[in-house]
């Protein structure tokens, strides 16, 4: 299970790097800071899954959760959202190193 969590963390980190690279290229081209919101990035990649997730959240979960949390999350920069997801997955899949040495208690 830890392997899958670490693999998912790696994929999220790669997505964050790709999103950050795209934002930096657009920022240099426009001579202004441009950060793509998560909703725009998701809409460009797979609009069907975004609409199905929105409808499922608004139907199965309380509408306040959808209104506040999900919409707030979709307004955040895509690279930041993927970085936070990568960090959380890595923290869950982290294996504490064993203490080894001469004086083990």
β-bridge partners, 77: 37
In contact, 9 and 93? CB cutoff 8 Å: yes
How far is residue 33 CA from its own chain's centroid?
20
- The vertex-64 CA angle with 56 and 60, nearest 5°, equals 25
Give me the pLDDT at residue 83, please: 96
In the chain, where are the structural domains located? 1-34+76-93, 36-75
Q: Whole-model pTM?
A: 0.79
Q: Per residue in 6-59, pLDDT tens? A: 999 999 999 999 999 999 999 999 999 999 999 999 999 999 998 898 888 888
Report whether pLDDT(69) > 90: no
In this predicted model, which residue has the larger pLDDT, 65 or 89? Answer: 89
C-alpha closest to that of 42 among 26, 55, 54, 25: 54
* The pLDDT of residue 104 is above 70: no
Contact between residue 19 and residue 36 where contact means Cβ atoms under 8 Å apart: yes
Nearest Cα neighbor of 53 from 71, 32, 75 is 71
Q: What is the mean pLDDT of residues 75-81?
A: 94
Residue 29's pLDDT is 95
């Amino acid at each position: 299970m830890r392997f899958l969590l670490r693999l998912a963390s790696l994929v999220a980190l790669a997505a964050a790097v790709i999103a950050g690279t795209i934002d930096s290229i657009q920022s240099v081209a426009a001579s202004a800071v441009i950060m793509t919101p998560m909703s725009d990035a998701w809409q460009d990649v797979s609009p069907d899954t975004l609409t199905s997730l929105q409808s499922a959240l608004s139907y199965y979960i309380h509408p306040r959760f959808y209104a506040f949390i999900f919409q707030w999350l979709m307004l955040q920069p895509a690279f930041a959202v993927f970085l936070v997801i990568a960090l959380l997955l890595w923290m869950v899949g982290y294996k504490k190193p064993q203490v080894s040495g001469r004086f083990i208690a």
